[in-house]
Amino acid sequence: YGISWDPVLDLPYIQASEIKGAVRSVLLKLALLSDAPNRIKNIMSVLSFTGKTRGKVFTKEEYKVVNELLTEEEPVVGQEEEHVGWLVISDAYPVNASKGVPVDLFVLTPHYTSDVHQEYDIDPRPIKFVGIPKCTEIAFAVSINKNGVEVLHKLSGTQMSTDQLLKIVLTKALDAGIGRRTSRGMGRIQLEGIEEVRK
């Protein structure tokens, strides 16, 4: 739901930023569960891991959660701190569709809108939208540098391999859902496997 469309390949795709945002949320939750003396440090490590964009570093929802831990006002990233994340994710494209078609038509019919004051005011109007159907395989690339590997190991506090840790983080992020209407089961992705390529 809320997919983008590639004008060159003529295919729907999920933007990398959607997947990266889900990964960031999983890691921020993990950082918040860490020991109190290291908590702020771990939160800042997560921000470096996923990349720092100039300006405010937290969404409203994230700021509500971390606000109690911050002694100053919400941190702001300056020009000198701005950098690309240590985790790089590509856009996700469908590679195999169960019905042979990578898109399906969905219908949403809201009954209670802001102008409804009583039951007799209900005037349902179906909203049609295009989405990627169930059981469609999608593929995307993930790259992580040495700094990112250190952050993953520090946050997990385990001796697991980087591949295992990355698989766990991606599984949790994709399972939580990408995009909107995840409470209705949309945007939830099951990780089937990782094909490793090393240089």
Distance (Å, whole) CA 64 – CA 135: 36
* Cα 128 from Cα 148, distance rounded (Å): 41
| One-character DSSP codes across 77-88 | E-TTT-EE-SEE
pLDDT digit string, tens, across residues 50-80: 776 656 666 666 666 666 655 554 556 666 6
DSSP 158: S
Q: What's the pLDDT tens digit per position in 114-130?
A: 777 787 778 888 888 78
Token pair of 13 as six digits: 């795709």
For the stretch 145-152, contacts whose Cβ atoms lie closer than 8 Å and that sit 24 or more positions apart, written own/partner, are 145/86, 147/48, 147/49, 147/86, 148/49, 148/85, 148/86, 148/87, 151/45, 151/46, 151/48, 151/49, 151/86, 152/49
Question: pLDDT tens digit string along 130-182?
Answer: 888 888 899 999 988 888 888 888 888 777 888 888 898 899 888 888 877 67
Q: At what angle do helices 146-156 and 36-50 cross, to 10 degrees?
A: 150
Residue 25's closest CA among 52, 43, 3, 2?
43
* pLDDT at residue 175, rounded to an integer: 87
Query: To which H or E segment does residue 152 belong?
Result: helix 146-156
pTM of the model: 0.74
Q: What size, in residues, is the chain?
A: 199
First vs last C-alpha separation in the chain: 35
